[in-house]
Amino acid sequence: MDRRLLGAGLLAGALVVTGCTAGGGGEGGGGGDASTIKVAYQKYGTFTQADTLMAKVKEEFEAQNSEVTVELVPIEAQQNDYFTKLALMNQSPATAPDVMYEDTFMIKSDVDAGYLAPLDDYVESWDEWDQFYDNAKDAGRGDDGSIYGIPMGTDTRALWYNTDLFEQAGLPVPWEPKTWEDVLDAAATIKAELPDVVPMNVYSGKAQGEAASMQGFEMLLYGTEDTLYDTDSQKWVVGSDGFVDSLQFIADLYQGGLGPTPQQALDKNLGNLVSGEWLPQGKLAIDLDGSWLSGTWLESGTNPWPEWNDVMAQAPMPTQKGQDPGAVSMSGGWTLAMGSGSKNPDAAWEFMSLALNKENSQNYDIEASQIAVREDVATDPEYGASNPSFAFFSSIVDVTHFRPATSDYAKISNEITVAMEAVMTGQQSPEEAAAAYDEAVIGIVGEQNTQDG
């Protein structure tokens, strides 16, 4: 497949939606003095690719700028905790970073809070900016038209399944589920035939944060006839059948003994267990997860698994009843952003541009199993050959969706995890949890900003 067309297809109209920012000012960014730039990023469990990148760029930057020191601040926290700790850092000029690792869906709220600096003057004179797909640039663009974050890569999500376990259970390989019922039936077969194996993992509950709301729930909801947010009316959808049906899937999975135990599901370390132990050790048959998952199993990863491509296969997540387009995915991505109060913004930009040049972008995208957002990386034969799962995960871009690009999304995402946890633990029925969610959404955005599904 032509990687140029692949990258363009991936990003066309997509990162435009994930690029959710707005104008703002404030006291965030840039603790310390002009001779030191502070770089904050997530380092958690098997996710260490950003740590590798930042350490490499620190060495390169300091070799070129002997008068400036780079202070790396790895935040060892699960995703939601990372967002919380980064926000706390940004609230004080003494601790706020000059450069930060920023999820696209957090950019808008962080700009609103005054944490991020516009980058327009820098990108206009950056000769590598043209290598980024035009719509990839919008991943960090604000409502005011300014750029606040430079994209590092993007991703898609699907069903990973263990072919050895499927064959032992008498299930077909390749597996091509067409409906939710097909998925749950396969999980039920695993439970009956291989009782020591966890049939299926779908991240759920407050402890999993965005992994539950986006990677779990929204992968279901966007496969129904309903949506989370109506982009035309710019209103949040409440009272939808699809929301209840998605919660029913979670209830069927967890209350039916087809998933992890609620105790396991609410362990913040579950993601590391899935990638580092359950899948490589044949303890989990099906995992609803992201394109980056195999990055930890590569020779350069934190948990090399040479046989992974012989054992693990992928299938698109089907729509609820097999209705068009037949499958569904969700996409996101990370950026590098600059703190609004940096005392040395030129040095901060130099660090960012070095981190995101062709060589470093390509290394990061390969090691983190990211879909490339630079044309020269996407078309590089080394990138294309680096991971055998890239072709599949790029092929489902046509059916992907993106989180609502609003500053309210983070609060509403949390309410989704609350609803999921209520049904997975049996505390509420799907209908009760959906009603509580609707009430919470109205409380967050106001009834005038909601509509019935």
Is residue 11's pLDDT more than 70?
no
Q: What is the pLDDT of residues 29-54, one digit of tens each?
A: 455 578 999 999 998 766 677 889 99
The answer to whether residue 395 scores a pLDDT higher than 80 is yes
Is the Cα dihedral 358, 364, 367, 371 positive or negative?
A: negative
Instruction: Note whether 3-155+332-402 and 157-330 share their fold.
Output: yes
pLDDT tens string 107-152 = 888 888 899 999 999 999 999 999 997 767 877 887 788 999 999 9
Q: Which CATH code of 1.10.150.20, 1.10.3210.10, 3.40.190.10, 3.40.50.410 fits the domain covering 157-330?
A: 3.40.190.10
Confidence at residue 46, expressed as pLDDT on a 0 to 100 scale: 61
Q: Which two tokens stand for residue 130?
A: 């043209």
Given this model, what pLDDT does residue 357 score? Answer: 97
Specify the pLDDT at position 47.
67
The C-alpha atoms of residue 15 and residue 25 are separated, in whole angstroms, by: 24
How far apart are the C-alpha atoms of 451 and 240, rounded to whole Å? 10
Q: What mean pLDDT value characterizes the chain?
A: 90
Q: What is the pLDDT, as a whole number, of residue 145?
A: 81
Weakest mean pLDDT among 148-157, 180-189, 395-404: 395-404
Q: What is the DSSP letter of 433?
A: H
- Using the structure block, give the residue that is written with the tokens 């703190």: 339
d(CA 374, CA 136): 8
Q: Where are the domains of the chain?
A: 3-155+332-402, 157-330
Give me 4's structure tokens. 């140029």
Least confident of 185-189, 290-294, 348-352: 290-294
CA distance 68 to 65: 6
The class (CATH top level) of 3-155+332-402 is: alpha beta
